[in-house]
Structure 1
Amino acid sequence: MKKQLLLILTMSLILLATACGTSSGGGESKVGGDETATFQATIIEIQDGCYLVEPVEGSAELNSADRITIPMANMEPSPEPEVGDVLEIEYDGSIAESYPAQITKVYSIRVAE
C-alpha cells in the first residue's frame, strides 16, 4: 500500500513538472510563420546604439524585467525618440535573462506617444 502511494505521488510530481515546462508566453502571435511579440516601454536612457527602457504598467514583459536593453534597429525614421518617450517595440518574443534584460532581434520600433 505504501509503495503504491509513493509511486502515485512520484508520477504526479513528474506529470506536474512536465506540464509546467510546456506553457507558452503571453503576447506572442504567429505572423508568416515567425513568432512575434509587441509591447510598449518608456525610454529611461539612450546609450551606445541602444535604448534602456522600462515596460509600461500591465505589460507581460514587465513580468520578465523592469529594465530592458533594446538595440536601435529597424526604427521608423521620425520622430527621433528621446528620453521619456513611449516606444512600441515588435520583436521575436525572446528576452535574454540578464540585468538589464536584453532583446536582440527587433523587427520594428516606433514612437507611440
Structure 2
Amino acid sequence: MRNGDKVLFSTWGKKYTPPVNQNNDIIKDTVDNTECSFCGTITQVEENLFFVKPDDGEEIRKSSNLILVGKLKLDTNVKDEVGKRIRIFYDGTVMETYPAQIKATKYESISEPDFKILFENNQT
C-alpha cells in the first residue's frame, strides 16, 4: 500500500477501495438493501441472545449450522423458548464465526408444518 491510497479497510492483505464518482467522492449506498430471512428452531436462550439451528435447505446453512441472534428491543410475538420455530429477517450480512452471527431486523414465530395422523386398520 502506498501513501495517499484511499483504503477503508484491509483484511488478509487485500485492500478494499470503495467506488468513487467523477469528483473523487465515495459513492455511498452501493450495496443492495434486500432483506434476507431463514426459518429454524431455537436451541438455546440467553439473556440478550439466542441460538437458532436453520432448517435443512436454508441458504444460511452454507455458512453455519448454528446462528447466534441478538434479541431485539422491540416487542415481538416471539416466545424465545428452546424448541420454538422462528423466521428471522436480517440484513444479509453473516459474520463467519462459530456460531455464525447475524443482525436481525425482525423475527416472528412460525407454526409447525401441517401433519396427518394415519391409523392402520381403523374401524369406525
The structure where helix makes up a greater share of residues is 1
Looking at structure 1, the residues matched to 73 and 87 of structure 2 have their Cα atoms a distance apart, in angstroms, of: 12
Measure the CA separation in 2 of the matches of 1:70 and 1:57. Answer: 18
| C-alpha distance after superposition, 1:88-108 (max 9, x if no partner) | 00100110000111002x111
Whole-angstrom CA distance in 1 between matches of 2:76 and 2:60: 25
The aligned amino acid for 1:44 is T
Structure 1 CA distance for aligned equivalents of residues 35 and 73 of structure 2: 14
SS of equivalent residue, structure 1 residue 73: coil
Counterparts of residues 34-45 of structure 1 (less than 5 Å): 34-45=33-44
Residue in structure 1 matched with residue 12 of structure 2 by the alignment:
none
Aligned equivalent of 2:93: 94
Q: Distance in 2 between matches of 1:53 and 1:73?
A: 15
Letter in 2 for 1:43: I
Shift of 1:75: 5.3
Partner of 1:107: 105
- Helix, strand or coil at the partner of 2:60: helix
CA distance in 1, matches of 2:42, 2:88: 11
Question: Whole-Å Cα distance in 2 between the matches of residues 98 and 57 of structure 1?
Answer: 20
Q: Which has the larger radius of gyration?
A: 2
Whichever residue aligns with residue 87 of structure 2, its letter is E
Deviations 1:5-37 (A, max 9, x none): xxxxxxxxxxxxxxxxxxxxxxxxxxxx62210
Question: How do 1:40-79 and structure 2 match up within 5 A?
Answer: 40-73=39-72, 77-79=76-78
Name the % identity: 26
Separation in 2, partners of 1:99, 1:90? 19
Structure with more of its chain in strand, by fraction: 1
Larger RCO, structures 1/2 (Cα 8 Å, 6+ apart): 1
Structure 1 segments, 4+ long, off by >6 Å, are none
The TM-score normalised by the length of structure 1 is 0.64
Write the distance in 1 (CA, Å) between the matches of 2:38 and 2:52: 11
